[in-house]
Structure 1
Amino acid sequence: MEAPALQQFATAPKAPGKTGVLLVNLGTPDSPSVSDVRKYLREFLMDGRVIDIPFIPRFLLVNGIIAPFRAPKSAKTYKEVWTENGSPLKYYGEVNERQLQQALGHAYVVRLAMRYQSPSIDAGLSEFQRLGLTDIIVIPLFPQYASATTGSVYEKVMDVLKTWQVIPQVRFVNRFLEHPKFIEGFVQLGRKYMADYEYDHFLFSYHGLPERQIRKGDITKSVCQLGECCGSLRADNQHCYRAQCFETTRRLVRELGIPEGKYTTCFQSRLGRDPWIQPYTEDTIRKLAKDGIKSVLAFSPAFVADCLETTIEVGEEYKELFEELGGQHWQLVESLNDSPLWVETLVDLVKTA
C-alpha cells in the first residue's frame, strides 16, 4: 500500500498556468544607420563567447578598431537587406511569434527576443515573470549548437534568472538539425529550384567559427581533429558545431537525392587573421569555377530566417565572385522564414521540450 504522503503527491493536480515560450535569434540593428549598426556591433562583439579573448584586449579591439571602422561599411550592407518591414531577421521572427502563438493556443505565451539589441531577452523574461509563469521553454533559433550562439543565449537567460527570487522551471532546446520537418522545409525549397534547372553542383554554406572555439568544445582533448572526425555525428563529437553542420548536409543530401561528388559543405563569414573552420566558402567557389562548374544551387542551413549573411553574402557577393570566375548560374535557396513546415517544427519543439 502506498504511503499516505506519496499517495497524496501522486494524485495532486498540477497547478493551472501558462507556459512561456521564448524564441531567441541572434539580433539585428534597430535601423541601418551607422550609429545603430555601431551600437549593435559593440554589443554583439563584446560577448566573450563571440570573441573569446580576455576582456581588455577584446574591449580595445571592438571599440577601438572593429566597431568604428566596420560600422559605416556594414551600415551600407544593412541598407541593402532592409525592407519596408525593416530587418528580415526581426520581421520573420515577429511573424513566427504570431504563427506559433496561434498554433499553440491560450495555454502558452510566445515572445520573440534577440540575443543582442531589441526585443531583448530581459524584456521577454520580465514579461513572463510579471505574468507569474513558472514554466518556461527557451528555443534559440539556431539549428546547430555553438557556444557563440546557443551557448550565449543560455548564458544570458541564466544571468537574468539568477536575480529572481523565484526561479521557474526552464527547459532549453539545444539544437534541432535532426528534426524531420526542419530538414523537409529546406528540401521542399530546394526541390522547387531543382525542378526548374539542372545544377552542376550543390553548395551548403554555414556560418564559420574560429577553430579554437571548436577545440575548446572538445572536453576530451582527444576527439577533435577538424577533419575526419566530422564524418559522422556520434556521442563523442555530438556537441561539435562543425560535425553538426556536416550532419545537416548529409541529411539534406539524402532527402534531395544528390549523389556523392556533387555537393560541398563549407563555411563563410570569417573575421580576423586566426584560422576559422574550413573549407572556406570563398575558396570552395574558386575551386568549383576552376573545375569547370557552371551552375550552383546554394543552401544556408545555419539560418532559419533570411538576413545579411544569406541574402547579401551568399545570394549576392558569392554570386558575383562565381560569375567573375566564369560561372553562369548561381541560385540561393531562401531560408525557412514563415513557411508552414517551420512553424510545425517550432510547435513540435515546444511540445517535446
Structure 2
Amino acid sequence: MPSSPNKGRIGVLLVNLGTPDSPQTSDVRRYLNEFLTDARVVDMPAAIRYPLFRGLVVPLRAPKSAKIYQQLWTDRGSPLLFHGLDLQKLVQEKLGNDYLVAFGMRYQNPSIEKALEELRDAAVERIIVLPLFPQYAAASTGSVQEKVMELVSKWWVIPSVSFISTFADDPGFIGTIVTLGKEEMAKRHYDHVVFSYHGIPERHVLKGSHNGYCQLSGCSNTYNEKNRYCYRAQCFETSRLVAQGLGLAPEQYTIAFQSRLQSRLRDPWLQPYTDEVLKPLPEKGIKNVLAFSPAFVADCLETTIEVGEEFKELFEEAGGEHWQLVPSLNTHPQWVQAVADMIHRN
C-alpha cells in the first residue's frame, strides 16, 4: 500500500558510548573528561566529581589510556566509530527510504546533538532512539536517554520520540551471538565458556531496584517485570539464552564482570570479577576457554584489548592453553537484520 503523501519519514537514532577523536593524549583526556564527569556514570555531587576527575583522575589516566588506544586504532580509526557508521549505512539500506537513520556518540564525535539536528532538518515524523547497549544501565542507556530528552526539549516543535531501552533478550541479538559462538566452537573444543560483562557499581543496581527487589543474589535467577531493568538480571538472562542456543549446561559457563574503575574495597562493583574468575580455571583442568563479551555490540577497547589480550595473558600465565574471544556483532548481516527488526517492531 503506498504511503500517505502527508506521512513523513521515521527518524532512527543509533547511539553508542563514544571514542576519542584520536589516540593522542589530548584527545583521550577530552573524551575522559566528558565521560567521567557525567553524573550518571559517576554519581557523586558535582562539587566532588569535577575537581576529583578533571583535576586528578583524568590527568593520571589519560596518558595510560592513550597508549592502549594506540594499540586499538586502525587505518580507519576507532573500531567503535567505523563499525557504528557502517551499521548506520547497512540499517538504512535494510529499512529503505521510509526511514532516515542517523548515528551519534554519547561522548565526543559524532555527537548526539548533530545526529538529532540531521533528523530535525529532514522533518522526520517521529524519532526512534536505539542506544546500542543490550542491557539497560543508568550509566549507559539512561545517560543517552537523558541527553536526547535534554536536547529535544529545547526544540520549538517536538516530534514523538520513543526509546528502545533494552534488547538483552531480543531473538535477533541472541541469535547473532549464538551464530558467532558456533563458528568458533566448530574450530576446536572448549572446556568452558566465560561471559564477561562491563561492570557497574553495586549501588547503581540497588538504586534502580523495584521496591528493593534486586539484592545482588538469586533475584537474577529469573527475568521478570520486577527486574527487567536490572543490569545484573539482564546480563544473566542474555547469558542463559546464549548458553541455551549453544547447548551449554549451567556448569559449562561462568558469568563475570570486568572494567571496574574504583577499588572494590571502597566501592564494590558487580561480582565476580572476570580477572579473578579466570585465574583458577587451569587448576580445575579448564585449559581452553571461549570468551564472550555480550555487553558490547562492536569492537572496542574493552573487548579487543581487555578481554581479547589482557585476559588471555592472565589466563595463560595461570596455566591455561587457549583463550579465544568471540568477535563482536559489528556489522554481521544477522545483526543488521536484528536492528532493522527492532526498529520495525517499535
Is residue 287 of structure 1 aligned with residue 277 of structure 2?
no
Q: Which residue identity is paired with 1:155?
A: E
Runs of 4+ in structure 1 over 3 Å off: none
Could you tell me whether the CA contact under 8 Å between 2:14 and 2:129 is conserved in 1?
yes
2:161 and 2:99 map into 1 onto residues whose CA distance is: 14
Q: 1:120 aligns with which of 105, 111, 115?
A: 111
Rg comparison, structure with higher value: 1
Map Cα deviations across residues 310-342 of structure 1 (whole Å, 9 max, x no partner). 000000000000000100110000100110011
Farther-moved stretch of structure 1 (338-347 vs 177-186): 177-186
Q: 2:304 aligns with which of 302, 305, 311?
A: 311
SS of residue paired to 2:22:
coil
| Cα displacement (A) at 1:254 | 0.4
Q: 1:67 aligns with which of 51, 54, 58?
A: 58
Is residue 323 of structure 1 aligned with residue 321 of structure 2?
no
| Cα displacement (A) at 1:181 | 1.4
Q: Which residue identity is paired with 2:9?
A: K
Q: Which residue of 2 aligns with 1:340?
A: 333
Q: 2:141 aligns with which of 123, 141, 150?
A: 150
1:246 and 1:14 map into 2 onto residues whose CA distance is: 46
Q: Which residue identity is paired with 2:189?
A: E
Could you tell me whether the CA contact under 8 Å between 2:210 and 2:226 is conserved in 1?
no
Taking structure 1 as reference, are residues 258 and 57 closer, same or farther at Cα in structure 2, changes over 3 Å only? same
Q: 1:220 aligns with which of 211, 224, 229?
A: 211
Map Cα deviations across residues 186-218 of structure 1 (whole Å, 9 max, x no partner). 111111111111111100000000001000001
| Cα displacement (A) at 1:225 | 1.2
SS of residue paired to 1:331:
strand
2:157 and 2:283 map into 1 onto residues whose CA distance is: 61
1:224 and 1:160 map into 2 onto residues whose CA distance is: 32
What are the within-5 Å matches in structure 2 for residues 53-202 of structure 1?
A: 53-202=44-193
What are the within-5 Å matches in structure 2 for residues 215-294 of structure 1?
A: 215-221=206-212, 223-273=213-263, 274-294=267-287
1:286 and 1:292 map into 2 onto residues whose CA distance is: 12
| Cα displacement (A) at 1:145 | 0.5
Map Cα deviations across residues 7-43 of structure 1 (whole Å, 9 max, x no partner). xxxxxx6832111110000000000000000000000
Could you tell me whether the CA contact under 8 Å between 2:14 and 2:131 is conserved in 1?
yes
Q: Which residue of 2 aligns with 1:9?
A: none
**Number of aligned pairs?**
340
Q: Which residue identity is paired with 1:224?
A: C
2:119 and 2:112 map into 1 onto residues whose CA distance is: 11
Listed as ranges, the gaps of 5+ residues in structure 2 are: none
SS of residue paired to 2:280:
helix
2:5 and 2:249 map into 1 onto residues whose CA distance is: 52
2:283 and 2:159 map into 1 onto residues whose CA distance is: 56
2:160 and 2:118 map into 1 onto residues whose CA distance is: 15
2:7 and 2:149 map into 1 onto residues whose CA distance is: 25
Aligned-pair identity in percent equals 54
Farther-moved stretch of structure 1 (139-148 vs 290-299): 290-299
Taking structure 1 as the reference length, the TM-score comes to: 0.95
Taking structure 2 as the reference length, the TM-score comes to: 0.97
1:49 and 1:327 map into 2 onto residues whose CA distance is: 38
Q: Which residue identity is paired with 1:87?
A: S
1:341 and 1:89 map into 2 onto residues whose CA distance is: 18
1:225 and 1:344 map into 2 onto residues whose CA distance is: 36
SS of residue paired to 1:271:
coil
RMSD after superposition: 1.0
1:350 and 1:88 map into 2 onto residues whose CA distance is: 24
1:255 and 1:91 map into 2 onto residues whose CA distance is: 29
1:243 and 1:290 map into 2 onto residues whose CA distance is: 29
1:31 and 1:153 map into 2 onto residues whose CA distance is: 22
SS of residue paired to 1:261:
helix
| Cα displacement (A) at 1:236 | 1.2
1:230 and 1:16 map into 2 onto residues whose CA distance is: 43
1:127 and 1:183 map into 2 onto residues whose CA distance is: 31
2:176 and 2:125 map into 1 onto residues whose CA distance is: 32
| Cα displacement (A) at 1:292 | 2.7
Farther-moved stretch of structure 1 (343-352 vs 123-132): 123-132
